[in-house]
Structure 1
């Protein structure tokens, strides 16, 4: 039977963390809590509840918390010589009590049965929880889901879910570059790029336990900007070529408009014509840059 371990990134989660750990330990063999610079009693609660503790001296962000957790699991597996005793399944779950640990078996099963390498817990995969989500949250989540799907080429319904399960073989494919909440989208894109099997299973969420101190608008915009930035190398045709094509078309239309005015003698100002030429040149540059980067990306992936 596969051994499993859960990673819980935690920042000032003393209220709900103990319960989350105890309930999670019913379904996994070990719980690792990454205390990300908390100022409350998160560390004490984690120790009392029976979790292994990793502590960041300052708050580094959820991405860094997950990175520390995955590195700890790699170290644990390297110390165990018998492959049958390694931790084969990794679960990530938030420490604020919004996720239901009793749903962990639902996330683990597709991996144990060989049907998935990466299982994403989704609030919306069956459409049953759509109405329970606060409207302002759902609008923002839909935008982030769309951006993530464009970047990854997937059709994920809940890209910002932190409740997930992974086979140990996926760990080397995670770059874990982002230090914040954009890590959720980054992991999906990394897994998709590696050709891993990704499935979604339905989960439930409690919104009455939301302990986030971040403004949801600034948080969402920050994550969106990082996802778009990530497209620079993952989807250069979208990041460069598509905007370049739009700029090029605007330049052509503007140039024809001003040229027509000039021919008809209604304008002799060459300033607008220069602007049109600049738009055409910039558009062409962006289009060619995107095509070149896409070719390089495909060549690198082919060699890998």
Structure 2
């Protein structure tokens, strides 16, 4: 790929990866995508934890000014490096375009945001919860949601108000009854990869993907997930972020 270079190879994970609810199904090649920028302190631990639940982990380093790519590679991830910062939409497009070459049956996207104590924004242990409905043939896509059982009391109030608005707009555009439309923790059957446009370059990519998925009538389920609330909101100004997604 132009302006991109391969910085490492993934190592197969030999640990028990399947949850009890899917352990009797046919083996599936699960590939986890971690879009990343400037996380050299913690990306290694996130990759190591994620590899326990996946056959391979791909880190897309979006032109980090440090050793993020090098450390991710040493931790066992396959690393794709953008030579210029392209934002999340382009990051996902890069990997989805290469999925068939990797032999993936299931794709999991997961935020690699980390906290000061090196814990991931999303919990890698919940990866089997997301790909479970796909493996057993009940869904083509799973959307991780914090809000399936009502409002989450730990989310900052202005973040949740904005989330409700964006959920409503996304439902109108996609026709899907979905909660947590801005979730970056999702699983997809590899057969869905050509459905997504990847036009949005910033965080609005999450809503765009749901809109695209709603058009062909894919089977989409919500899966309850947890999250680290000390990194719950984007570092971008929430009003600016919400308005951008709304447009």
Shift of 1:91: 0.3
1:28 is the counterpart of 2:54:
yes
Equivalent of 1:89 in 106, 109, 113: 106
Shift of 1:210: 5.5
Higher relative contact order (CA 8 A, sep 6+): 2
Distance 1:189 1:7, change over 3 A: same
TM normalised by structure 1 equals: 0.68
1: CA distance between counterparts of 2:169 and 2:143? 17
Give the number of the structure whose residues are more often helix, by fraction. Answer: 1
Equivalent of 1:102 in 115, 118, 125: 125
Residue ranges of structure 2 left out of the alignment (5+ in a row): 1-26, 114-119
Q: CA RMSD in A?
A: 1.4
2: CA distance between counterparts of 1:217 and 1:211? 11
Indicate the residue corresponding to 1:278 in structure 2: none
TM normalised by structure 2 equals: 0.84
Indicate the residue corresponding to 2:31 in structure 1: 5
1:112-261 correspondence to structure 2 within 5 Å: 112-127=135-150, 130-209=152-231, 212-225=234-247
Q: What SS does the corresponding residue of 1:14 show, helix, strand or coil?
A: coil
Greater Rg over alpha carbons, structure: 1
Indicate the residue corresponding to 1:267 in structure 2: none
Superposed CA deviations along residues 44-102 of structure 1, whole A, max 9, x for unmatched, are 221121100111112111001111111121333xxxxxxxxx31000000111110000
Equivalent of 2:98 in 72, 78, 83: 72
Q: What SS does the corresponding residue of 1:68 show, helix, strand or coil?
A: helix
2: CA distance between counterparts of 1:214 and 1:172? 30
Indicate the residue corresponding to 2:11 in structure 1: none
Range with greater deviation from structure 2 (67-76 or 210-219):
210-219
Runs of 4+ with >3 A deviation: 209-213
Distance 1:66 1:39, change over 3 A: same
2: CA distance between counterparts of 1:173 and 1:194? 8
Query: Is this contact kept in 2: 1:91–1:166, CA < 8 A?
Result: yes
Indicate the residue corresponding to 1:60 in structure 2: 86
Residue ranges of structure 1 left out of the alignment (5+ in a row): 77-85, 226-304
Query: Is this contact kept in 2: 1:16–1:95, CA < 8 A?
Result: no
Query: Is this contact kept in 1: 2:34–2:109, CA < 8 A?
Result: yes
Distance 1:212 1:156, change over 3 A: closer
Shift of 1:166: 0.4
